[in-house]
Chain A
Amino acid sequence: MITLNINGSNREVDAPEDMPLLWALRENLGLSGTKYGCGVAQCGACTVHINGEAVRSCVTTLSRAAGQKIVTIEGLDDDISRRIQDAWVAADVPQCGYCQSGQIMSAHVLLRENPNPTDKDIDDGMAGNICRCGTYQRIRKAIHMAAKK
């Protein structure tokens, strides 16, 4: 059994230590908001926060995640999160929506570290997250909106 601290509570997971956190979240704990896109830290769909940092859960083993503070899209509930999610709705960002959990988790870290990012800051901070539907322009807009509030 591995103990994971997820969204503020401890959860027991019966899984091998080398298994990526992504699969524990999705399959063992039913937190399916974190998505599988590539499995090799290329697309960012699986982004979660570990101790406040944006981390690709598809390449983060359970042994590394154990005992750390993990936040998933389901656990976002602070002021930055609300501003981001409101802005995402106002700009009608999502299309298929599959990558958006990861986009929002990355945007959260960006805005916490840089409350008023420029377009360049946004491009740098969000370049690890692929959106195949091509919602990038609206992501930029939404992050600016979330920053201004």
Chain B
Amino acid sequence: MHDIHSLTRRGFLKAGSLAGGGLLLSFYLPLPAKGRGLKTPSPTLFTPNAFISISPDNSIKILCNHSEMGQGAYTALTQIVADEMDADWSMISVEPAPANAALYACPAFGMQLTGGSASTNSEYDRLRRVGASARSMLITAAAREWQIDAALLHTENGSVFGPAGKKATYGELVEKSAGILPPKPEGLKLKDPKDFKFIGKSLNRIEVQSKINGSAIFGLDVMIPGMLVAVIERPPVFGSKVKSFNPAKTKSVPGVKHVVQIERGIAVVATGYWAAKKGREVLEIDWDLGPLLNSETLRTDYLELAGTPGKIAAKEGDVTNTSGAATTIEAIYELPFLNHAQMEPLNCTADVKPDSCDIYIGTQGQTIDQMTAAKILGMNPDKVKIHTQLLGGAFGRRAIFDGHITAEAVQTSKAIGEPVKVMWSREDDLKGGYYRPVSLHKLTASIDKNNNPYSWHHRIVCQSFIIGTALESMVVKDGVDTIAVEGASELPYAFPNVQVEWHRGMNLVPTLWMRSVGHSYNAYVKECFIDELATAAGKDPYQFRRGLMDNHTRLRNVLDVAASISGWGKALPAGRARGIAVHESFKSFIAQVAEVSVSNDGKLTVHKVWVAIDCGPVINPGNVRAQMEGSVIFGLTSALYGNISFKEGKVEQSNYYDYKMLRINEAPEVEVKIIDSTASMGGVGEPGVPCVAPTVANAVFVLTKKRLRQLPFPANVRS
């Protein structure tokens, strides 16, 4: 246990402190990130713990240990801290915390990582204590100053108040707070939720101003003195290696400074992006190509695997006993590789010096980036500073196990001895792998003679991006990658006989999690096939599901709410139909209803999507709505357009013209109902995605009588 150490009034403050239940061991106040135009910190600050820094001018800086990628972490996490410390919201700013796993590891992952829709629900308890601890210390400072019993003081809107009109702002207490000990964790008093002032309010995104006037700095915007720009020529086929290369033509392009080989390819380094790109266009490389993947071959292999028993992921009763089955249905579902296609292409700026390294990156995984750079450079991790930038979207693509984005920049900077920004073009990003895995599903289900569910058998074939990584021991159980089968292995519908199996597909393509991960394909299959079974049973798809969910009351409730707000069962204009789906993921419960129409030539229009969500207590309802609205667009984009395919080893898609995104003219209205709930807190970044595609597909079926068992949907959904 660490107690207090003296606060020094120098630019570097080290204050050992104890907050957040003893999670904080020491505090190193970081220098401002280069390239962000930040002021030098005031020499006199009160830093009650690693998350909060208070200035005499009453401004409060929150160091946020989760990255902001659009999901609203900066705002929601700050709301938690600010509420418990009774801060003045208008005086708060947020900065990214430095990389320091000892201080800032996400409680859900044990490392600094933003993902799994876990930022808010995993940090809620700790950050409440962080805020409450600071508040308690400020009260102690005022009590000492005024020589009054602390019990007589209270706080409000950034000030401590005492009897007889006594008042001190938090800024005025900065100097007086020197030497104050944090309260013991067991003595820390948290607010009664009824007294929350910021938690539960739809406060605007805290960095919103910077995002409407062009001043927000993303990784790609970083400029540091002497910085060069590099593009990398990476293998044209996954697994291939450079045999030889001829840099002569490239070096003759004006602006090109260096051509160097790094682990993953050849880096063309120039004074700017255009010169680097021009230089790369004339680079001559002889590649040693690996196996040449074709999507058609892959499909054939997966189909064959699906015909054989896989590893058991879930089992109840006996699906081989068909004695009670009156009607049996079977289907094959197929979902493609997907690219995250976040708007800001991948990038990383590295400045390797003899005994230290600075890295500027919009990353979801600071700890991994720091360890990656430290390993390449043979330095202690604490010599590697990660300056986290805003992320122009991420969706999982910026949370990688192998740190390849950072590694490329570090290796290039090391090779040339200068700071360098490695930029990925859109094409580099799209063809660069780390896709949502392709999957193929074989399903068999039956109902008994009374049309009640009898058996459910789901066999999944997909590759694993977990096996072989540090997460394997946590995620792989009895040989099954639980992320690969998530959303399928916990069937919420009561069947007497259930079996879910998994086959590991071949790993020729680097794959990764993408927003809602295994749920993104398993929920599609589950929710479409249960709809098929409802049809086979001659029952309404809402009522059929509802009748099987007695043991899943939170999930059943959102299903009821979605049906209710969408007017399920009521008449619709001619040519329109509704579909429904329900799914639990990332500890949240969501049901959706879509209203669609299909033209005579098969063109699908999604008019409106209703979303009912129970994510437990809500920090920022406005942001929950924003995440649901965005998730509908994300899910619909995948359903209508998302497809990465291979021919002779090469990715067939290049840019947004052949890897399309949903545009505003195709965007449905989205109505969101948030359930008032005091149950456990869930996530909101991802769980809105899984229901979208099945909801729409089930609605299309009503109009066309055709099941859409392959994603993306065909351009003509009647075909």
Interface residues of A (CB under 8 A from B): 15-16, 19-20, 23, 26-28, 30-40, 42-43, 45, 72-74, 76, 85, 88-89, 92-101, 104, 122-124, 126-127, 129-140
Contacts and interface: CB of A to CB of B under 8 A. Distances in A.
A132 B664 contact: no
- Listed from nearest, the 3 A-B pairs whose CB atoms lie closest are A33-B214, A134-B633, A98-B392
Given A95-B626, A96-B69, A97-B216, A127 B205 contact: no
Interface stretch (B3-11, B20-28, B337-345): B337-345
Contacts of A93: 212
Contact of A89 (B204, B214, B344, B663): B204
Nearest to B227: A27
A137 B667 contact: yes
14 contacts: A15-B274, A34-B214, A38-B656, A76-B213, A92-B202, A96-B343, A97-B210, A127-B665, A129-B664, A130-B343, A132-B661, A134-B634, A136-B667, A137-B667
B426 interface: yes
A21 B394 CA distance: 27
B236 interface: no
A132 B670 CA distance: 16
A26 B217 CA distance: 12
A76 B213 CA distance: 8
Contacts of B211: 94, 97, 100
B667 A95 contact: no
B691 interface: no
Contact of B661 (A33, A85, A130): A130
A121 to B, nearest CB: 11
B274 A124 contact: no
A140 B664 CA distance: 8
Contacts of B637: 132, 134
Contacts of B634: 132, 134
B17 interface: no
Contact of A97 (B70, B341, B629): B70
Contact of B213 (A33, A130, A137): A33
B40 interface: no
Contacts of A134: 629-634, 637, 662, 667
A74 B213 contact: yes
A96 B665 CA distance: 21
Interface string B313-342: 000000000000000000000000000011
A20 B274 CA distance: 8
B670 A94 contact: no
Residue among A38, A89, A139 with the most chain B CB within 10 A? A38
A85 B670 CA distance: 23
Contacts of B208: 88-89, 92, 94
A138 B344 contact: no
Residue among B204, B632, B665 with the most chain A CB within 10 A? B665
B343 A99 contact: yes
Given A37-B343, A131-B633, A131-B664, 17 more contacts: A16-B254, A20-B274, A28-B272, A36-B273, A42-B656, A43-B661, A89-B208, A97-B392, A98-B344, A100-B211, A123-B664, A130-B343, A132-B341, A132-B634, A133-B70, A134-B637, A137-B669
Interface string B84-112: 00000000000000000000000000000
Nearest to B341: A132
A15 to B, nearest CB: 7
A26 B227 CA distance: 14
Contacts of A104: 212
A23 B72 CA distance: 30
Q: Please classify the interface of chain A as helix (H, G, I), strand (E, B), loop, or mixed, using the class held by over half of its residues.
A: loop
A43 B342 CA distance: 11
Interface residues of B, number: 61
B655 A40 contact: yes
A70 to B, nearest CB: 14
B223 interface: yes
A34 B218 CA distance: 11
A98 B218 contact: yes
A113 B637 CA distance: 30
Interface string B270-282: 0011100000000
A126 B664 CA distance: 7
A42 to B, nearest CB: 4
A135 B629 contact: yes
B482 interface: no
B127 to A, nearest CB: 21
A35 B630 contact: no
Given A96-B392, A133-B630, A36 B212 contact: no
A95 B661 contact: no
Contacts of A92: 202, 204-205, 208, 622, 626
Interface string B169-203: 00000000000000000000000000000000010
Nearest to B208: A89
Contacts of B394: 96
Contacts of B71: 95
Contacts of B664: 122-123, 126-127, 129, 131, 136, 139-140
Contacts of B60: none
A48 to B, nearest CB: 11
Nearest to A45: B343
B426 A38 contact: yes
A110 to B, nearest CB: 11
A104 B212 CA distance: 8
B418 interface: no
Contacts of A33: 213-215
Contacts of B229: 27
Interface in B253-307: 254, 272-274
Nearest to A73: B214
Contacts of B655: 38-40, 42
Contact of B214 (A16, A38, A74, A137): A74
B221 interface: yes
A45 B391 CA distance: 15
Given A95-B70, A96-B344, A23 B390 contact: no
Interface in B643-673: 655-657, 661-665, 667, 669-670
Contacts of A30: 223
Given A43-B343, A95-B70, A130-B656, A88 B212 contact: yes
A111 B54 CA distance: 43
Interface in B218-259: 218, 220-221, 223, 229, 254
A30 B212 CA distance: 17
A36 B72 contact: no
Residue among A23, A85, A92, A100 with the most chain B CB within 10 A? A92
B425 interface: yes
A23 B630 contact: no
Contacts of B704: none
Contact of B670 (A101, A123, A137): A137
Contacts of A73: 213-214
Contacts of B665: 123-124, 126-127
A56 B669 CA distance: 28
Contacts of A26: 221
A133 to B, nearest CB: 5
A130 B273 contact: no
A124 B254 CA distance: 41
Given A85-B212, A97-B70, A23 B272 contact: yes
A127 B663 contact: yes
Contacts of B656: 37-38, 40, 42-43, 130
